[in-house]
Amino acid sequence: MANVPKDLKYTREHEWAKQEGDRVRVGITAYAQEQLGDVVFVELPKVGARVTATKNFGVVESVKAVSDLFAPISGEVAEVNGELGQKPEIVNQDPYGKGWMLVVKPSSKGEWDQLLTAQQYEELIAQGGH
Amino acid sequence: MTTALKRTPLYHEHVAAGARMVPFGGWEMPVQYTGIIEEHRATRGAVGLFDVSHMGEFEVEGPGALAALQHLTTNDVAALEVGQIQYSVLCYPNGTIVDDLTVYRMSDERYMLTVNAGNIDKDWAHVTKSTEHFKDAQWRNSSEGTGLIAVQGPNAEALVGRLADRDVTAIGYYRFARGTVGEVPTLISRTGYTGEDGFELYAPADGTAQLWKALLGAGRADGATPVGLGARDTLRLEMKYALYGNDIDDTTNALEAGLGWVVKPAKAEFIGREALEKVRAEGLRRRLVGIEMVDKAVARHGYPIKKDGRAVGIVTSGSYGPSVDKYIGIAYVETALAAVGTALEVEIRGQDKAAQIVRTPFHASKVKKPG
């Protein structure tokens, strides 16, 4: 079973979200990177762009496939992980750490509670992830 | 996933090894064991073992076998010696492609054809129906009873040589010999789909697992690694080897696909000859070329190719090439724009990304040339 840290929240599309003061860090889960296989390309928005909860904010490509990334919460992009441009494989190696993708300044507080808890996400992937 | 997927004789070996199994052409096949890039590098650097038992094998025998094959395939089967193999194409009357295949001359009047897994039923119907009027040619579909393991990479010769009851160094490229490997009766074919030296080992279905275990066991010192379909695809992409269903199909003709080297109109009549002669006389409208991304982006099958905003072609295969460390692809492009060095754009999610046509293969071939 893939690692699902207890202190994070999750989307049904396999992104994680981490509260850091008034900002939220976003990436994809260990389960997601396992399913994707070797990540070879990550396309992310620019700092200052707006992302919307449940909407596409970028793309991650493995050798075999293209997958959309979905924002856990709405807000303005405060930071982007530029290292993924040169070393997309970090997403496989450290999905909850160095493989992070965005830091977002949330525009609404209510959305956080809509996200899955670690336990709910574990149940989702136990059912095959759909 | 449907329950009707077929399984190769190595299915249980793959599951036990922790492979990720996926549906492919009606078969349940390993896409990867540890990781596509790692398996790709293991093949280029040491030796990879591939289960390709899903491929189909047909045999045709009799005084009319040669004439039947000359009628069916584009290459000149009369040029084949016993023990030699030929790459070839099955065409429809309009010159588009039923399948690509290899033809083995087993004896004076007996041949074996190896065809793509997803095309077995279609090809069987095509070859038997198209040669009904050749009375002295008996067809047999031996796909179910035949397993096939590809052993590819710089250490392939040493590994197969150690397990074989004969000298495999004497088997030239696109030649085969019979022998035993790991005590399993095997047709040892010096062919492959990776651009590396190596063999494809045909064995009885009930001996294929024994052969696989023998190769894995004896291959530890050689760095032998099981390799899934994911790396098989990146390895063939780096060589610009066409994949049926991606780069070639019943909408592409054999000449624009770059397979003119196996189209031999001078040999005799064959299905598609007239249409292909017409294409040759009129000139190709488009050509299959190798592209490399200039902008950072991944080209994929079906993405439009443009030149200054105008649609001029389509990507048929694309991914990251681990050995060239670039995003590469194969594409049909209008003939006037098909020269090496031509700057193009690939439309990716609504944005035009810079690419250029490059020389192929993308990665230098290491296959053993006829000596």
Q: What is the mean pLDDT of residues B293-299?
A: 97
pLDDT for the residue numbered A109: 82
For residue A30, give the CATH number of its domain: 2.40.50.100
The whole-angstrom separation of Cα A56 and Cα A40 is: 19
Contact A63 B296 (CB under 8 A): no
* Sign of torsion over alpha carbons B125, B130, B135, B138: negative
Task: Specify the 3-state DSSP secondary structure of B282.
Answer: helix
Contact B297 A85 (CB under 8 A): no
pLDDT greater than 70 at residue B370: no
pLDDT for the residue numbered B371: 46
Task: Specify the 3-state DSSP secondary structure of B52.
Answer: coil
Low-confidence residues of chain A, pLDDT below 50? none
Least CB–CB distance from B36: residue in A38, A41, A59: A38
Nearest residue in chain B measured CA to CA from A43: B297
Q: What token pair was written down for A101? A: 């993708």
Interface contact A47, partner B, CB < 8 A: no
pLDDT greater than 80 at residue B2: no
pLDDT in tens, B142-167: 999 999 999 999 999 999 999 999 99
pLDDT greater than 80 at residue B103: yes
User: Exposed, middle or buried by CB within 10 Å (0-12, 13-18, 19+), for B308?
Assistant: exposed
pLDDT greater than 80 at residue B288: yes
CA neighbor of B224 nearest in space, from B146, B162, B147, B168: B162
Share above pLDDT 70 across residues of chain B, in percent, rounded to a whole number: 99
pLDDT greater than 60 at residue B122: yes
Nearest residue in chain A measured CA to CA from B237: A63
pLDDT in tens, B258-276: 999 999 999 999 999 999 9
Least CB–CB distance from A40: residue in B20, B32, B320: B320
Nearest residue in chain B measured CA to CA from A35: B20
CA neighbor of B196 nearest in space, from B45, B326, B66: B45
Domain boundaries, chain B: 11-50+145-195+208-239, 56-141, 285-358
Q: What is the mean pLDDT of residues B279-290?
A: 97
Contact A37 B230 (CB under 8 A): yes
Residue given tokens 């009606």 in the structure block: B26
Nearest residue in chain B measured CA to CA from A58: B349
User: Exposed, middle or buried by CB within 10 Å (0-12, 13-18, 19+), for B213?
Assistant: middle
- Parent domain of A87: 15-126
Nearest residue in chain A measured CA to CA from B230: A64
Q: DSSP for B209-227? A: HHHHHHHHHHTGGGTEEEE
pLDDT for the residue numbered A108: 86
Tell me B256's DSSP state.
Answer: T
Partners of B50 in the β-ladder: B150, B227
Torsion of CA B301, B303, B304, B307, to 10 degrees: -100
Interface contact B323, partner A, CB < 8 A: no
pLDDT greater than 60 at residue B3: no
Beta strands in chain A (DSSP E): 9-10, 15-20, 23-28, 39-43, 50-51, 56-62, 66-70, 75-80, 102-106
pLDDT greater than 50 at residue B1: no
Does A120 reside within a domain? yes
Contact A37 B300 (CB under 8 A): no
pLDDT for the residue numbered A49: 98
pLDDT greater than 70 at residue B12: yes
> A31, A35, A38, A39: best mutation site toward chain B, by most B Cβ within 10 Å?
A38
pLDDT for the residue numbered A1: 65
Contact B320 A64 (CB under 8 A): no
Quick one: three-class SS letters along A8-44? CEECCCCEEEEEECCEEEEEECHHHHHHHCCEEEEEC
Asked whether the beta carbons of B200 and B191 are under 8 A apart, the reply is: yes
- Tell me the CATH number for domain B285-358: 2.40.30.110
> B29, B34, B37: best mutation site toward chain A, by most A Cβ within 10 Å?
B37
Q: What is the mean pLDDT of residues B324-330?
A: 98
Distance from CA of B31 to the nearest CA of A (A): 9
The whole-angstrom separation of Cα B71 and Cα B68 is: 5
Number of domains in chain A: 1
Contact B296 A85 (CB under 8 A): yes
Lateral strand order in the sheet of B47-51: B176-181, B184-189, B198-204, B146-152, B47-51, B224-227
Does A2 reside within a domain? no
pLDDT for the residue numbered B133: 93
Contact B35 A37 (CB under 8 A): yes
* Interstrand relation of B176-181 and B184-189 (parallel, antiparallel or unpaired): antiparallel
Contact B31 A41 (CB under 8 A): no
Q: What is the mean pLDDT of residues B292-313?
A: 97
Quick one: three-class SS letters along B338-366? CCCCCEEEEEECCEEEEEEEECCCCCCCC
Tell me B260's DSSP state.
Answer: G
pLDDT in tens, B187-223: 999 999 999 999 999 999 999 999 999 999 999 999 9
Tell me B124's DSSP state.
Answer: H
Q: CATH 3.30.70.1400: does it fit domain B56-141?
A: yes
Partners of B280 in the β-ladder: none
> Of the CATH numbers 3.30.1360.120, 3.90.1150.10, 3.40.50.300, 3.30.1490.20, which one belongs to the domain with range B11-50+145-195+208-239?
3.30.1360.120
Interface contact B230, partner A, CB < 8 A: yes
